[in-house]
A and B are shown apart, each in its own frame.
Chain A
Amino acid sequence: MIETALKALFILLYATFVGFMFMGIIRIVTARIHRRVGPPIYQPILDTIKLLSKKSNITHGLIYDFGILYAVGATILAVMFIPLGSIGVLRAYGDLILITFLLEIPMLGIMFAAMSSGNPYAGIGAQRALLTLLAIQVPLGFAIVALAEFYGTFSTYEIVMAQQTMGWSIFHFPLLLAAIAYDLVLQAMFGKEPFDIMIAPGEISLGPMVEFGGKHMGLLQIQHAIALFAETLFFANIFLGGGVVTAFSSSILNTIAGLAVLLVKQVAVLLIATFMGAIFPRFTIDQAAKFYWKWPTIIAALGAVLASL
């Protein structure tokens, strides 16, 4: 019981901290591509502290508050199910389908909160976010199907373990296709260009985020950090072999090494998304839908069919 609680606390703190670092990395890397200096890596943490300590906060009602809490709570729930190296709280129940759903539902909380404010920008942002979700769901679904059919199990942890003997998923051709499709989907999940249609800064005033400020926005920053961590972690686990290290005799050393391995993989996933985001301009929503329903879907469906043979 206490051990579980400690593990959970560690996962939570680690995920939040690394997530904030990821947010900082995105900003620095983007700045360097733009030939700017960029903020220090800990800038997102400072921003969040500032937001949380605002003296005046507004609300639009119960749903406005609860939606935010729900988004944060659901993200914490999701991160507990994903195996983090050899540390896991609920990884025995870390079902692929469950995690895929759990990674999507924080958005539902944010949508509820944003829409309850009655701001039309939030409404149009919600519309765009949902259509993006609809667009990515097809390739995402096929990628998950490919994984489940290739390994014959839905357990994320077992998939990680299977990769220790069979080699990383991306070295098998059907799953390589699935991984490419999933990586394109991640771009929209992160909300990075060219698929940042739902927030679209300068176009619809950050869409769903338009009304949030103060501690609501601070909580959403925390949610964003954990979600960033969870999404990259999930990708690293299912496609890049996860972080299982057994080289050392001490289990603590193994755990730390596992975390380090995972971190490298996560940063790699993140950098790909950042590079893509820094080069491309924004799509319109129907372009995004048509894009996702074409190439990523074809690639992922091919992967799924090949995996099922």
Chain B
Amino acid sequence: MTTIDIFSGFLGAGKTTLIKKLIAEGYQNEKLVLIENEFGEIGIDGGFLKDAGVAVTEMNSGCICCSLVGDFGKALEKVLQEYHPDRIIIEPSGVGKLSDVIAAVQKLTSDEVQLGSFVAVADAGKTKLYMKNFGEFYNNQLENASAIILSRTQSLTQDKLEAAVELVRTKNPHATIITTPWDDLTGEQILAALKPGQTMAETLLEETKHAHEGTCGCGHHDHDHEHHHDDHGCCHGHHEEDDNCCGHHHGEDEQHFHEGTCGCGHHDHEHEHHHDDHECCHGHHEEDDNCCGHHHGEDEQHSHEGTCGCGHHDQEHEHGEHHHEHGESCTCGCHDEGHHHADEVFTSWGFESPRKYTKAELEFCLNALDEGVYGMVLRAKGIVPAADGTWLHFDYVPAEYEVRTGAADVTGRLCVIGADLKQEALAQLFKKEC
């Protein structure tokens, strides 16, 4: 299977520099072919590419009137046949439309090809000027990109950069906009950001939903307990690192007897189940392959008598899949509806921006979340650039937060999850001049 990544962007935007960085740091152990449809300004030097094992095909059309589409499909197919690469990187003409290139790739009949990322690289300082004067092809690149990578952001003032991001956003409400100076990012980080995935808000919302359904499953009723939510885990935090949660010992030659009630000692079955694509934990075993409270060791005997120990009475769980359907008789605490009704209750609010914060500003904002004027805030999380050039990561649950210095990300992001969120007030809080 060959993945095709497209890097569009006007002349001088920095496409070539970016591609070089990605080849050097990002695309590891892949057989690459680079298709150039532009006479590069810097020119990717042959030696570098040879060392990196990259084949280069040039398609020099050279002017607007010859849109590349005509022979482009043929050229692509030739590259596929000749090299069978893992990945083809296309650097199309800077004055061409990205949608034309995407269409040309989509027209390929081969089953062996898939479209990867389609990126627009834009000089942050020139977005306004170019949008106004170039119009069509320039806007087309921004509008059709799955990710927009701004270049030379370090040479803009904070206000100008934020204005540029907002302007670009008007052309493309969905794309990730990378605003961090490239030198502060690894090629790997950039590539990861190009892949479509869950947004921070989506991830956090899901975590929160599962953690707060109806009555919280953990048996604490007033939400004043501490939930440990870290980046990886959805676990509801009672036994995060504990292999022996649930009161089961998972030794090798062990016998389990699940009798009626869940062995974890929660008798009211109100413990939490976590369901999300990545994590199988049934709430108890974060590091444990054996979800559902069952140990699936080789030499093991299971005795399922009557009811499964995990609290599902109607064979709702499917072992081997990390997903549970909860029927009506699910005992997790929701009696009348499935688990996914929580959307109606919880909302998320957040934004992506290159805006810089100091630690004190963040602490001020996070303290303010407890005041009640922003709605019932259950979680907040963010990774934002700091005024001093480092990056700040924060996590918030009611009455408790942590702000720490951490790794740079491709852009600043923060989100807030809760019920009845006052979005305007939140925007005021986080975006106002602190």
Question: A and B from one assembly?
Answer: no
Interface residues in chain B, defined as those with a beta carbon under 8 Å from any beta carbon in chain A: none
Interface residues in chain A, defined as those with a beta carbon under 8 Å from any beta carbon in chain B: none
